[in-house]
Amino acid sequence: MSDPKLRYDQIVSKLREYNHKLTPQRLAVVKILAHSQGHPNVESIFEQLQKKFPTMSLATVYRNVMLLKSLGEVLEIGLPDGGNRYDGNKPHPHPHVICVRCKSIIDPELDTLKDLNEEVTQETGYRILTHRLDFFGICGNCQKLS
Ligand SMILES: [Zn+2]
Ligand SMILES: [Zn+2]
């Protein structure tokens, strides 16, 4: 995991660089995404901000997440059921482990995957731009419940 404070600063300077306004609401969304605890969806970011910004709409949160995604500061993780989750702590492509029961998502630390892009290039001749690698299973908590 990257240092959330550092990620927050990186995202804010990117917003500055592209002349986007730094409203308190926007900065609050950035703060949550810099941590990206558990890879939140837009709804859960919205819920976390309801108390502090009761007038902020779900659409505003969504727009801000999309803005950060377009700047390359947030990674979108599409789930097979159609939901999207977000990681602003590690915005570059990386593998995820997803629980099929409770939908919790974690980042495994896997050194062996570092050279994967290069290996795929050598094997296929493709110039690799990005990749997706997701593992689906049942998390420790859900195993205890079953
Ligand atoms: Zn689970
Ligand atoms: Zn992640």
Q: 105 C-alpha to center of ligand 1: Å?
A: 9
Query: What pLDDT sits at residue 110?
Result: 78
Backbone φ/ψ region at 42: left (φ over 0), alpha (ψ -120 to 50), beta = alpha
Q: 103 C-alpha to center of ligand 2: Å?
A: 13
Give exposure, 21-49, as e/b (b: 16+ Cβ within 10 Å): eeeebbebbbbbbbbbeebbbbebbbebb
Q: 103 C-alpha to center of ligand 1: Å?
A: 6
3-class state of residue 138 by DSSP: coil
Ligand closest to 144 (CA) is 1
**Is pLDDT at 114 greater than 80 in this prediction?**
no
Read off the pTM: 0.89
Q: 90 C-alpha to center of ligand 2: Å?
A: 6
Ligand closest to 97 (CA) is 2
C-alpha dihedral sign at 60, 63, 69, 75: positive
Distance of CA 39 to the CA centre of its chain: 5
Q: 64 C-alpha to center of ligand 1: Å?
A: 28
Which CA distances in Å does 128 have to 22, 35, 75, 110, 124? Answer: 34, 28, 17, 19, 10
Distance of CA 126 to the CA centre of its chain: 26
Strand partners, 75: 87
**Is pLDDT at 112 greater than 80 in this prediction?**
no
The band of 106, judged by pLDDT with boundaries at 50, 70 and 90, is very high
